[in-house]
Structure 1
Amino acid sequence: MVYQGSKNRLAKYIVPIIQKYIDENNIKTYIEPMCGSCSIIEKIVCENKIAADINDELIALLKYVKSDPLLYIAPNDCNFEHYADVRENRKLGTGKYSKEYTALIGYCGSFGGRYYDGGWGRDKTGKRNIYKERVVNLKEDSPLLQDIELRCCDYTAFENYKNCLLYFDPPYQGTKQYSKQSINYEEFYDFLRKLSENNIVLISEYSMPNDFKCIWQKERKVMQKSDRIVADKAVEKLFILE
């Protein structure tokens, strides 16, 4: 799934690090409290895997994709008029479209995976059908979700868990926040410190407080601007509490 902040392109670096912690510490439960598109957890091997997100529409879509690999609810094509209709009914809360259908059109039809926030997805040549490409991508995700328990909840729902490995991929501080959650970062850092007392906790971010140690980093280009041509340089990092 094309998703704002997705780690899909970085998974080949991050997954082996997480997997090593799981294997060397005999971890039985792996949790992603901010799972997004599940691009990391779907590649992890662990006895129990839990993916959670506060975005109820996202979780509804992931549950549907898990249950229906053929995506019968997906229309053969989606034009701007239909995309705009789903977006407007979502805004008004009419209930005309289900949560999973709203999410499907939003993630497959929006520009850059911005979910109704970046406009209609199209390329400059007009030769690509971005919607169809993303529906195919969603179908490919279905078998990868089969061993994952999906939950809709806030990250604090895992505060009492023990002997787990939790990987957090929050909206980065100083970048565009997701519509379903606004994070108080000082409270978030304190939560991670408390959670680390009984678990292994890894966090993706650009920077963290000094008591968190960077264990991996890689420079990459980030397309934040609407023209999708000019890219900013950013250094992706993975942290653990020292």
Structure 2
Amino acid sequence: MKYMGSKAKVARYIVPIIQEQIERSGYETYLEPFCGGCNVIDKIEAPQRIASDCNKYLIALMQHIQAGGELPGYIEREEYAKVRANRDDYPEWYAGYVGFVASYNGRFFDGGYSGKTQTTGGLRDYQDEGRRNIEAQRDKLKDVIFLHKDYRAWNPTGCVIYMDPPYENTKQYKSVEIFDHADFWRVARLWSHDNIVLISEQEAPDDFVPVWIHSVTRTMNQNKTIAATEKLFVAKEVLEREEIVAAV
């Protein structure tokens, strides 16, 4: 699913790194506490896959998809405005669908309405593209355990964990509380004692090292893209303890 900060473009690089750790370690549980659009977990194989997120509308949408629920047709601008202003009057999965699929760049009511747009290549229907992307994920997500949960509520042990938090010094959702990056790295250190934790970010504290680096472009709005560098970090203690080969 299209989602702000989605790893769809780099999943083919990081999924093999994560998958190798699952197979090598023998850990049966794979956890994503910032599951977002599920563009990584839908490609991971593990005896147990758990996806959680603090956005209840996102989780409700994923559970609806998983259960084989029908998806709506084209969302007109007027309907988008109604749901945006009164999202709690609608089923959570529907508010999630409208917020992600009908918002520009999957920004959940924070990127402006996105519908059909005339481009140099012809008429482009962004909603139809988003709907088809979701449909393509159905079978891949059928056995995932979806939970509405803040990452700090987890106390994992013996898991392979992939974390894709809001990046520091980048634009965040207006509707979400300010993300505490220092506390995030504290939690990452704690979890690294008893788990294999891999983290997507651009920069990290000195006790974390990158095992993968890749240049990407990010879409900021309909007229602007920027160059950026994606990195996959692990704590030094994990790198020393586990057989992780850095691809940098």
TM-score with structure 2 setting the length: 0.89
1:79 partnered with 2:73: no
- 1:207 corresponds to which letter in structure 2? E
Question: How far apart, in 1, do the equivalents of 2:55 and 2:73 lie?
Answer: 26
Corresponding residue for 2:170? 175
Question: How far apart, in 1, do the equivalents of 2:96 and 2:138 lie?
Answer: 16
The DSSP-based 3-state class of the residue aligned with 1:223 is strand
Question: How far apart, in 1, do the equivalents of 2:80 and 2:137 lie?
Answer: 22
Question: How far apart, in 1, do the equivalents of 2:141 and 2:29 lie?
Answer: 16
Give ranges in structure 2 of 5+ residues lacking alignment.
237-248
TM-score with structure 1 setting the length: 0.92
Corresponding residue for 2:218? 222
Corresponding residue for 1:240? 234
State the aligned residue count: 232
Deviations 1:17-71 (A, max 9, x none): 0011111111111000000011101101111110000100000000000001xx4
- 1:103 corresponds to which letter in structure 2? G
The DSSP-based 3-state class of the residue aligned with 1:9 is coil
Alignment check: 8 A CA contact 1:54 1:180 kept: no
Corresponding residue for 2:5? 5
The DSSP-based 3-state class of the residue aligned with 1:38 is coil
Q: 1:98 deviation in Å?
A: 0.8
Question: How far apart, in 2, do the equivalents of 1:75 and 1:203 lie?
Answer: 34
Question: How far apart, in 2, do the equivalents of 1:181 and 1:152 lie?
Answer: 16
Identity of aligned residues (%): 38
Give ranges in structure 1 of 5+ residues lacking alignment.
none
Alignment check: 8 A CA contact 1:222 1:233 kept: yes
The list of structure 1 runs, each at least 4 consecutive aligned residues, that deviate by more than 4 angstroms after superposition, is none
Deviations 1:132-181 (A, max 9, x none): 2211221111111112100010101222x211111100010011223334
Q: Which moved more, 1:232-241 or 1:183-192?
A: 183-192
The DSSP-based 3-state class of the residue aligned with 1:216 is strand
Aligned to 1:99, which of 69, 72, 92? 92
